[in-house]
Amino acid sequence: MYTGRLVFSQLMDFLPKHQFRQCVNRYNGNRYIKSLSCLDQFLCMAFAQLSYRESLRDIESCLRAMQNKLYHLGIRAKISRSTLADANEKRDWRIYADFAHMLINAARDLYSGDDFGVELDETVYALDSSTIDLCLSLFPWARFRKAKGAIKLHTLLDLRGSIPSFIAITDGKVHDVNVLDELIPEPGSIYVMDRAYLDFERLYLLNQCMAFFVIRSKINTQMRRLYSHKIDKSTGLRCDQTIVLTGIKSAKDYPDKLRRVKFFDNQKGRSFSFLSNNFIVPALVVAELYRCRWRVEIFFKWIKQHLRIKAFYGTSENAVKTQIWIAISVYVLVTIVKKQMRLDDLSLYTILQILSVTLFEKMPLLQVLESSKYNNITQQHFNQLKLFDY
């Protein structure tokens, strides 16, 4: 019988503790701290994410019920709801943001060779944002509308591995296009965006930085065709043109040539028009790149369903950002574990579900995860209709 370490402790071994201490020292996170250190706070919040705790009281009750195992989890302090609430409110959220970015860099290196459905050597990013609704009376700093609060989660997703390479948390009033000012363009990379980011002055800056973009155009975009390229209409393509902008402001903001690709989607019965500054890749690849942009939508849906980022343990801005960044760290940590343990047959959802019920078990982590593999059972057909079809 295995009498070794707890599953949670084995999972936390994948964290670069030295880099975490660097982040803490950078912002003096442990200054004047007598009991709950930043590492203890991170471990408690990571436990809450993995076990789907609903509140600070829930965290306190669960951890106190396992008081004799806390040391083996790596938690050295006595857990108190008030102490954890103070830590979330006062400890600088940038500690956990910096640490999350370190995990992101490690994960991106692991997934750099993965295929995302389009045969390209370049790094491809999908940029989008998602709104998280908040109660304005509890979160007065997150003003969105007159009687509604919200924050926006702006994410630049690396399509190889679906790893978020850039995240910005703003209040709900910040327009999506403003995030382009915070990005540092990578030469040679491709940025795929929706119409909300159609700002030709900012797009021209991407072009000058030798980065490529694929963006959906608006109906009222004024342009003039210079010449057309041959296409195969059986693939869904309708045109592949080289154009210049003719609007008074747009022509000034983007004085260079652009590529316009129009594609008809038979499944949806809709046509889409894309603009790009990449004249090398085939026109069909431009349409495929935009189709892959939906991965960032799936990412938002996934983390909202499986991580605690819609119900918060604190009401201050610092507490909300701390919780979100630790949630992102947990997501990236699971992707690292999945890759390093070569668990290609298991989804992130399955891994999280397994971990949620085995954190206090004393079993080898690989055995816990691999023993969950099962064959798909063919569903029986019933006459009664299903309310939800998955």
Q: What is the pLDDT of residues 25-68, one digit of tens each?
A: 999 999 988 889 999 999 999 999 999 999 999 999 999 998 88
Q: Over the stretch 116-136, which tens digit does the pLDDT of each residue have?
A: 888 888 899 999 999 999 998
Mean pLDDT by 10-residue block, N- to C-terminus, for the chain (390 residues)? 79 94 94 89 95 92 90 88 94 96 94 85 93 91 88 94 91 92 93 94 95 94 93 91 94 95 89 94 92 91 89 93 95 94 90 92 90 50 43
The H-or-E segment that residue 237 falls in is strand 237-245
Tell me, rounded to whole angstroms, the distance of Cα 95 from its chain centroid. Answer: 18
User: Within the chain, how many helices (H) and strands (E) appear?
Assistant: 14, 10
Q: Return the sign of the alpha-carbon dihedral for residues 346, 350, 356, 360.
A: negative
Mention every residue, 6+ apart, whose C-beta is less than 8 A from residue 109.
Answer: none
Residue type, position 150, single letter? A
Burial class (CB in 10 A: 0-12, 13-18, 19+), 253: middle
CA separation for the pair 263, 102 (Å, rounded)? 39
Q: What is the pLDDT of residue 86?
A: 94
**pTM, two decimal places:** 0.88
Retrieve residue 19's tokens. 């880099």
